[in-house]
Copies of this chain bind each other. A is one copy, B any other.
Amino acid sequence: MTSASDLASWAALLADETRAAICLALLDGRAWTAGELAAHTRVAPSTATEHLHRLVAGGLLVERRQGRHRYVQLAGPSVAHLLESVSAGIDGRAAPPRGLRAATADAALRRGRTCYDHLAGQLGVAVTDAMTGAGLLDQSGGFALTPAGLAWFTDTLGVHPEALRPGSRPLARGCLDWTERRQHLAGTAGAKLCETFLHHKWIERIGSGRAVRLTPDGRSALRDLLALPDPD
């Protein structure tokens, strides 16, 4: 069972505001360089270096050296999922944000965003619901891709069948949305879906954060592929 020191040392990693900001930024699933994170959190590069050391040593992050860059990202879906859980749990009793800028940024996030490596927000929930309605996804006993769903991924989206083989990571998993209080599709299938959407420019990122926007192309694609009416 978890010892108090395990829990404390794990929590200590997130207990610093700068490290927390780093982890939240990395929740977009992408790899960031040390310099980008330093600029994003407004600390000196040397300070960012120390934080990254601790986060990597603590197992929350993994790094990849490439030339003179040091890329870091979350250590895996389980870490991302845990962070999302904590984040959602805290939001449960948080007050609404103040200020217009915060409010509009929040609205964009509610509308659509990436959650580690898959789609979330109203967009993620809408797509998940549409897939369920179309018989591609079976939510009756946990989350599972139907045979039709599997075919839809390979034939319609053009995802390589090899990429959808069951591995250590579940193919389809539900992920609780902290804005919608609904499940959306996660797991390998969720990641591939998001990847495809980005690749086809059906969605595009807003600024440098996690928020995404449905493009006109994406609108018609969703209508054609999933009979999804325009989400407002």
**Partner-B contacts on A (CB < 8 A):** 1-8, 10-21, 23-24, 41, 59, 78-79, 81-82, 85-87, 89-94, 97, 106, 109, 139-141, 178-179
- Least CB distance from A97 to B in Å reads 8
Flag if A8 contacts B19 (CB, 8 Å).
Answer: yes
| Residue pair A17, B8 in contact (C-beta under 8 Å) | yes
Chain B nearest CB from A210 CB (Å) reads 9
Knowing A24-B2, A140-B141, A141-B141 are in contact, say whether A87-B7 is a contact too (CB < 8 A): yes
CA distance A179 to B140 in the complex (A): 25
Q: List 27 A-B contacts (CB under 8 A).
A: A1-B91, A2-B87, A2-B90, A2-B91, A2-B94, A3-B97, A4-B17, A4-B20, A4-B24, A4-B41, A5-B20, A6-B90, A7-B23, A7-B86, A7-B87, A7-B90, A8-B15, A8-B17, A10-B90, A11-B13, A11-B86, A15-B15, A59-B93, A78-B89, A82-B86, A140-B141, A141-B141
Select from chain B the residue with minimum beta-carbon distance to A183: B142
Bound together, the chains give a CA A83 to CA B112 distance in angstroms of 28
How far does the alpha carbon of A93 sit from the alpha carbon of B168 in the complex, in Å? Answer: 14
Contacting pair A7 B14 (CB below 8 A): yes
Q: Nearest Cβ distance between residue A65 and chain B, in whole angstroms?
A: 23
**Cβ distance A188 to chain B, nearest Cβ, rounded Å:** 18
The residue on B at minimum CB distance from A83 is B7
Residue of B nearest to A209 (CB): B1
Closest-by-CB residue of B relative to A59 is B93
Interfacial chain B residues near A16, Cβ < 8 Å: 8
Additional pairs, 7, CB under 8 Å, beyond known A1-B178, A11-B86, A85-B85: A1-B87, A2-B24, A6-B94, A7-B14, A7-B24, A8-B16, A85-B89
